[in-house]
Structure 1
Amino acid sequence: MSAQLEALPHRHVLTLPTLPSAVRLSREVAEQALVEWGIGLRHPTVDPALLILGELVTNSVRHAAVLSPQLTVIYAAGADCLALAVHDRHPYQPPMYASVTGTGTGGLGTVMELTLGLGGTAVVRADADGGGKSIWITLPL
């Protein structure tokens, strides 16, 4: 994680089984965390952020469960930034920006369209051992 993200004062980590119920649970925990951090659920970034989170968790459930029985969601926020990450132990690293150029498909296209439309960033970070990855989305508040 970059120094900028490490400096965010609010943080929550959630580990869930890589099952379909993880999508709903990850969104519910996100809503709870945002309210605790003073970020209103009517803030214009919140609904797109929850959709992005749902897409990323869904992708882990659909594509990584065979190698990753658990996934981890990291939530972080500061006064002007919201960051979300989904980590699993599947080594495949999707080309996030390929969906912008028209070579990607499905949920990642939605993730990138929303992220870039809000002025955010998306990064895929491989685990040190190459056996998994985290997808980080950072959105301005």
Structure 2
Amino acid sequence: MTAQLGALPLRHVLTLPTMGSAVRLARRTTETVLLEWGIPRQHPSIDPALLILSELVTNSVRHAAELSESVTVVYAAGPDTFAFAVHDRHPHLPALHSVETLGAGGGLATVMELTLSLGGTAVVRPDADGRGKSVWVTLPL
């Protein structure tokens, strides 16, 4: 997997209002972007990536809408890597734990289980001003 996200040559940014329809639109956009980039829909990482993305956008809609009028998805890819971030302007930094460390299967636990099962990584990055964050997920292709 490519180590540096900045080195990934393919980029796309999508910003949507923080409302329920954002989940569906982010999923559709992901499928379109991957197709445009020549990443086959049948690739084993794609269905889990769509589920992870849906969970992260749903979390922004449910928990950040009060403070964040939009949610932004940043997509990046290279020859062996697909990465995406879900950004909102809510200051809470969620803890990313697996089912084993939480003891129960919550949404973010599912995100971590899928990410780790594919050999990927997930990280929460706070905005410089501390008033928002991005959850970055990187998956091998």
Same fold (TM over 0.5): yes
Structure 1 counterpart of 2:56: 56
SS in 1 for 2:129: coil
CA separation of 1:6 and 1:31: change in aligned 2, threshold 3 A: same
Structure 2: gaps spanning 5 or more residues: none
Tell me the amino acid that sits aligned with residue 39 of structure 1. I
Q: TM-score, normalised by structure 2?
A: 0.94
* Alpha carbons 1:118, 1:140 under 8 Å: kept: yes
The letter of the residue matching 2:138 is T
Q: Distance in 1 between matches of 2:127 and 2:103?
A: 25
Following superposition, the deviation at residue 67 of structure 1 comes to: 0.3
- 1:31-55: CA deviations, max 9, x gaps? 0000010000000000000000000
Structure 1 residues 99 and 89: CA distance shift in structure 2, 3 A? farther
TM-fit CA distance, 1:106: 1.8
C-alpha offsets along residues 38-94 of structure 1, whole Å, 9 cap, x if unaligned? 000000000000000000000000000000010100011111000010000000000
Q: What residue number does 1:118 align with?
A: 118
Query: Hey, what does 1:44 align to over in structure 2?
Result: 44
Please give the alpha-carbon distance, in whole angstroms, between the structure 2 residues aligned to 1:91 and 1:130. Answer: 6
Match of 1:16, SS state, is: strand
RMSD of aligned alpha carbons = 1.4
Partner of 1:106: 106
1:71 & 1:122 partners in 2: Cα distance? 18
CA contact (8 A) 2:98 2:112 kept: no
TM-score (norm 1): 0.94
Name 2:9's counterpart in structure 1.
Answer: 9
Gaps of 5+ in 1: none
Q: Aligned in 2, Cα 1:100/1:7: closer, same or farther, shift over 3 Å?
A: farther
Percent identical among aligned pairs is 68
1:25 corresponds to 2:5: no
Count of aligned pairs: 139
Q: Is the 8 A contact 1:16 1:72 kept in 2?
A: yes
